[in-house]
Amino acid sequence: MHPFALTRADDPAQAIAAHTVDHRLAFIAGGTDLLGLIKDRAELPERLLDINGLPNMAEIDALPEGGLRIGALARMSDVAADMEVRRRFPVVVEALLFAASGQLRNMASIGGNIMQRTRCAYFRDETDGRCNKRSPGSGCAALHGLNRNHAIFGWSESCVATNPSDLAVALAAMDAIVIVRGQAGERRIPFRDFHRLPGSTPERDNILDRGDLIVAVEVPANMEARASHYLKVRDRASYEFALVSAAAAVATEDRRRIRSARLAMGGVAHKPWRLTAAESALRGISLDDIDGLRSAIAVSFLDARPLAHNAFKIELAQRAALRALQTAGARL
């Protein structure tokens, strides 16, 4: 095990200042991803700053207009059990409960969850093979290697990895906002802008800079959220990352006709992938018109680019999106 020094932070400004100047320092919350990355030698920080003692970062607040503010240090299990979260955003609760295991969810924080790194086996391989995310410039072993679990959208020659977070898919569908405090004060980042596509710099998963501390995630109220669902397709029924997943939410008019829909997919790209073209195409279609729903969803897959081993994801993802939408619709 790579050795590190552990200290505890009790003042946000000091934590941010320390992280800004010290490039060998990492924040640690639950440690469920970071310690694995250290064991795999994918990250080798010399100093860990435990942020669990920072004030006002673990609350779950129901906002008056119907939204939520979830502190970055709130535990996944606490958020999933919160009655207001369950009532207002079923898709968020389901994404949390389908993730990891009970023990992990008791430790794992919301901030850490959206910061977790890819499960690409080459990236996690401690023998240090070719991986641009791990060692920039070394190549991408997955591009022409084992890429069954990898991206079908938005990948580059530099990296074809997917983002493993279930929660991030639900938050993308809900247009959540990540609240970050940094050297220049607090800023609000729309969830769709938080994670990056790999481009030529896949070592960067998201847009955060040194010194940036996630303090909370805000989920604004929306008319689709009450009829929402998260569907996760995986190789075994529990304790497994998604092969593909779909977060869906829907509002209707004239009985079963779709007024607006939200659809985001996991397991298909370097970031949660919103199906915006399908969302537009779904407007006006009846939830009972299966062929119509299927055709509308297909619009978002016209630009899918499969790799050698994952073309099956194109059909699987469309079926998952359809099923998630139907299940969400059944909650109206």
Ligand X SMILES: Cc1cc2nc3c(=O)[nH]c(=O)nc-3n(C[C@H](O)[C@H](O)[C@H](O)COP(=O)(O)OP(=O)(O)OC[C@H]3O[C@@H](n4cnc5c(N)ncnc54)[C@H](O)[C@@H]3O)c2cc1C
Q: Which does 115 bind (CB under 5 to 8 A by kind): ligand SF4, ligand X, none?
A: ligand X
The residue from 91, 161, 167, 320 that contacts ligand X (CB under 6 A) is 167
Q: With binding defined as CB under 6 A, does residue 120 bind ligand SF4?
A: yes
The residue from 67, 79, 92, 116 that contacts ligand X (CB under 6 A) is 116
Which residue, 5, 9, 34, is CA-closest to 211? 9
Give buried/exposed letters for 112-148 (b at 16+ CB in 10 A, else e): bbbbbbbbbbbbbbeeebbbbbbeeeeebbbbebebe
Q: How far apart are CA 183 and CA 208, in angstroms?
A: 12
Q: With binding defined as CB under 6 A, does residue 42 bind ligand SF4?
A: no
Task: Give the residue with the Cβ less far from ligand X, 149 or 251.
Answer: 149
Q: Which of residues 214-243 bind ligand X (CB under 6 A)?
A: 214, 241
Q: Encoding tokens for residue 152?
A: 């079908």
The residue from 213, 217, 269, 325 that contacts ligand X (CB under 6 A) is 213
Is residue 287 within 8 A of residue 252, CB to CB? The reply is yes
Q: Which of residues 178-197 bind ligand X (CB under 6 A)?
A: none
Contacts of 9 (CB under 8 A, 6+ apart): 15, 18, 49, 50, 51, 53, 54
Q: With binding defined as CB under 6 A, does residue 141 bind ligand SF4?
A: yes
The residue from 118, 149, 310, 318 that contacts ligand SF4 (CB under 6 A) is 118
User: Three-class SS string for 256-287?
Assistant: CEEEEEEEEEECCCCCCEECHHHHHHHCCCEC
The residue from 31, 66, 182, 220 that contacts ligand X (CB under 6 A) is 31
Instruction: At 27, give phi and psi (nearest 5°).
Output: -70, 145
Spell out, one character per residue from 240 to 279, where the chain touches ligand X: x when CB under 6 A holds, - when not: -x--------------------------------------
Task: Give the residue with the Cβ less far from ligand SF4, 131 or 297.
Answer: 131
Task: State in angstroms the smallest separation of the CB of 37 from ligand X.
Answer: 7
Which residue, 281, 276, 291, 287, is CA-closest to 329? 287
Which part of the chain contacts ligand SF4 (CB under 6 A), choosing from 42-50, 69-77, 140-148, 168-176? Answer: 140-148
Is residue 212 within 8 A of residue 181, CB to CB? The reply is yes
Q: What is the DSSP letter of 314?
A: H
Is residue 244 within 8 A of residue 317, CB to CB? The reply is yes
The residue from 29, 68, 142, 161 that contacts ligand X (CB under 6 A) is 29
Q: With binding defined as CB under 6 A, does residue 75 bind ligand SF4?
A: no
Summarize as ranges the residues that interact with ligand X (CB under 6 A).
26-34, 36, 51, 72, 99-100, 104, 107-109, 111-113, 115-116, 164-167, 213-214, 241
Binding site for ligand SF4 (CB under 6 A): 118, 120, 122-123, 131-134, 140-142, 159-161, 202
